[in-house]
Every structure is written in C-alpha cells, then in structure tokens.
Amino acid sequence: MKKKLLLTTTTLLLSITTFCQTADTTLLKPALSRLAIMGDSIIKGSNDTARLESNQSFSLLLDSILNLKSSEYLSFHEVKALSILKSPDNAFVIYNWMCQTYFPYPQYKYFGYLRTLSKNGSSIKLYKLTEQTYENNQERESGKFGSDNWTGCVYYKILLSKYKNKTTYVLLGWAPHNQLSTRKLIESLTISNKSLQFGVPIFNTGARPRPRLIFEYSYKATMTLNFNSDKKMIVFDNLSSSDPRPEMKTVYSTYGPDMSYNGLKFEKGFWVLYKDIDIRLDKDVKGKEGEIKKLRITKQAD
C-alpha cells in the first residue's frame, strides 16, 4: 500500500511540475514571437541601423527570458537567428548568434550565453559571453579567458574529452571576420562550480600544447572543419597561401585549402596533430618518434 501511495504521489508531483513548466512556457510565447521577429530583422534588416537596433532589442529580451527559471524548458525553434547547442553529456547549453553590418565594409559581432545544467536538466547558472575582438591570431591562440573575454564565433559542434576524471570540452566555431577573410576555431572549455575557462592547453601541435586553434582564410574559400566519427578525429583542410612571398605569410586573405588534410586525435588527455592524412583510409599510420608520415592511398573513395 505504501509503495502504491508513493508511486501515486510521485506521478502527481511529476504531473504538477509538467503543468507548471507548460504554463510558464505558454506565458512566454508572445515574448518568443517578438524575439523571432527581432532575429529576422538582425538577418534581413534593410540597413545597418535597423539591424543594430534589432540586435540591441534582441539581446535585452533574450537576456530577460534566459534569466527566467522556466526558460530552460524552451526550444526557441522559431527563433531562426539563434544557434543552440547542448553538450553531449547535457552539462550545458550554448545560445549563440551574430550581427552583420555593411558600412563602410562588412563587419561581424558575436553574442552568446552559456547555461550550466544539473544532472536532472535544471539550470545551475547562466553566463553571458562577451566578445573580445582581436587581430593577432597567434596571440589569441595562447590565451586563457573567461566569459567576459570570449573569442567570438558561432559554435556548431561540441565534443567531449575525458581523461583521468578530467572533463574538457572542444567547441568548433565559425566566424566571418571582414570583407577579406573568414575564421574557424577549435576552442577548449572547462567548467567548474564557479566559472568557465576558455582555453586549456590540450592541442598538441608542436613543442608546446595550445589552448585553441584559429584558422583564417579568404572569404571566397570554404574550409572543412568537423569531427570524423569513423576516424575519431577532428579533420580539417590544410590552408596554404597563394602568394609564396615571406611578407604575405600573415595576409590571410590569400589563404585557402590546398587539397590536403590534417587531423586531431584524442590521446591521453591531448588532441594530437596528424599532418597530411588521407581521409579515405581506414587506418592512420604514425611514424617513428612522433613523425607523421604521409599515408598511401590504398582504396578509392566511396
């Protein structure tokens, strides 16, 4: 009898919780509709002033919504301007967007929030991601930053890395930069009870592991950067300059894919660089003393 009563009580509590969640999210529907309209104006606004004003209103309204407890149950599916990603272990969710202006030349600003979640999916803390603009990619690659000094982009993939009870997240992001170049990023993230840290030295690409990798290339080019589940590697285009002069080394508008690929594989707590891989092979070959040999093509691509 006690067991039956307990089950009945639990079912009732779940029903009440679900009802409250539904009621709260229903009350937010008008706000979500306004948010969707503002988001469309950020993308399709007739001029820079309209886009910037819409973005400001969008930011304020989204901030208000996300700070409500019931917002953790919202899907935001009608808000097309907003990118939403949840980590593979459901530890956090990122709300992310960008605003483009055109005068005197194309410029991009990035915005975001990260909400940490408990094991039952309820909200723990909401962090506002405040972009820090930069021009020197090499300097930015070596830094460790908090949510108030964020390397702006729009994230499209989150990977989970675990080694010896330490959890690190890897985020792949896309960031158009200006009228000449586009950026893509491989970012690292750790989360503690009190803070976020973007930038953990886990990318072993040379003498010293780096906290993040930034790729910049011509706006006319398209760079592949994604996780290959068959190889269990982050696979990306190798970028080369079309101008061999030494002084053009950091002129990223001359860079583009050169038809070769590199990869990062998670090994003992680090993402290790494999150069010049063949993405059509089943297995990668690692040379002696860490030297990565060029792989032979043993079968045709599917």
Same-domain status, 151 and 255:
yes
**Is residue 179 included in any domain, yes or no?**
yes
Same-domain status, 121 and 45:
no
Same-domain status, 132 and 228:
yes
The residue segments making up the domain with residue 19 are 1-74
Percentage, residues of the chain above pLDDT 90? 73
Distance CA 73, CA 91 (A): 15
**Is residue 298 included in any domain, yes or no?**
no
Residue 216: predicted pLDDT: 98
Q: Is the pLDDT of residue 272 over 50?
A: yes
Q: 73-87 burial, b for 16+ CB within 10 Å, e for fewer?
A: bbebeebebbbbbeb
Same-domain status, 69 and 216:
no
Question: Pick the residue with more confidence: 293 or 118?
Answer: 118
Q: Is the pLDDT of residue 188 over 60?
A: yes
**Is residue 299 included in any domain, yes or no?**
no
Rounded to 5 degrees, what are φ and ψ at 151? -80, 100
Distance CA 66, CA 14 (A): 23
Q: How confident is the model at residue 159 (pLDDT cuts 50, 70, 90)?
A: very high
Residue 10: predicted pLDDT: 33
**Is residue 113 included in any domain, yes or no?**
yes
**Last residue of some domain: 28, 55, 74?**
74
Distance CA 184, CA 255 (A): 13
Same-domain status, 165 and 56:
no
Q: Is the pLDDT of residue 299 over 50?
A: no
Residue 25: predicted pLDDT: 66
Q: What is the mean pLDDT of residues 163-175?
A: 96
What total number of domains does the chain contain?
A: 2
Same-domain status, 213 and 96:
yes
Distance CA 110, CA 132 (A): 9
Same-domain status, 55 and 96:
no
User: pLDDT digits over 3-40, tens only?
Assistant: 442 333 233 223 323 333 443 567 889 999 999 999 99
Same-domain status, 110 and 227:
yes
Same-domain status, 98 and 184:
yes
pTM: 0.84
